[in-house]
Structure 1
């Protein structure tokens, strides 16, 4: 699939309750549903833990993607570093895939974390061993595989790291 150039600006914003109606059309291809959470259940989990922070990926005025930044309570499984933050539930809605939004959002992520979570010095994530497309996007964005493996809900996950 050929990528099209970004026409609108990509930005990262904390999810707000008024964003809920804008998530109604959010969809993922069936094959991706096994690897990530949809935004609504991920937001519900954020309401149960105060160190989970839902983030929307804006493309112009539209919500093109979503993820959660999870503090020590989530990151501890992925890194012994107490200053690590976990990137989880990352996705780009179907109609926005292939436009370079994922790469741009991940390029913006380190500065976003530094600004809003200044005590953090590492971003970690788990990616399923079968999810080759996501592995490629994360590694292209600068995440590094240091060889750590964990068992997730859908099998083996590679733990990827980005130092800030």
Structure 2
């Protein structure tokens, strides 16, 4: 089944909150990201994005247009993507790849001044690295030390 037509990226709304609070990840994944429940409140310049399959929230990530972006790039028009996750019960269905394939258009439409998306991925998180590369992210060659080790800085030009 082609899920492409059923995956959407949307800004978080009240109708999604309860389901997002039920998200779970196995320990081997939760070490690399944060669950949506940790983002009940966000600061100015942080945007909670929900990945919907039909109308059901299956994933989540944050986009940042804050000072934090400067830790990853000198581009003042870049946004930082963090806390990407797909609910454990929904994994293996292609939702992550489809969502990331929609990212360029979503960011261009919603944040027209943005021309680059940056992210950090842990060197041990091979599955995430492969996903990001498949959808066009490139390793910038920059490295950061994160809470559990070295992180590769990747970017996607819009």
Could you tell me how far 1:17 is from its partner in structure 2? 2.5
Superposed CA offset, 1:68-114 (max 9, x none): 00013221111110001000000001111111111100000011100
Matches within 5 A, 1:33-52: 33-44=30-41, 46=42, 49-52=43-46
C-alpha distance in 2, partners of 1:74/1:115?
22
Q: Match for residue 90 of structure 2?
A: 96
Q: Match for residue 18 of structure 1?
A: 15
Q: Secondary structure at the match of 1:119?
A: coil
Size of the aligned set, in residue pairs, is 158
C-alpha distance in 2, partners of 1:96/1:121?
31
TM-score of the pair, normalised by structure 2:
0.95
Q: Secondary structure at the match of 1:55?
A: strand
Could you tell me how far 1:6 is from its partner in structure 2? 2.8
Matches within 5 A, 1:75-94: 75-94=69-88
Tell me, yes or no, if the aligned pair for 1:52 and 1:70 is still in contact at 8 Å.
yes
TM-score of the pair, normalised by structure 1:
0.91
Q: Match for residue 6 of structure 1?
A: 3
Q: Secondary structure at the match of 1:99?
A: coil
Tell me, yes or no, if the aligned pair for 2:46 and 2:66 is still in contact at 8 Å.
no
Cα-Cα RMSD: 1.4
C-alpha distance in 2, partners of 1:18/1:5?
26
C-alpha distance in 2, partners of 1:159/1:18?
33
Among candidates 105, 124, 129, match of residue 123 of structure 2: 129
Among candidates 42, 48, 53, match of residue 59 of structure 1: 53
Structure 2 portions without partners, runs of 5+? none
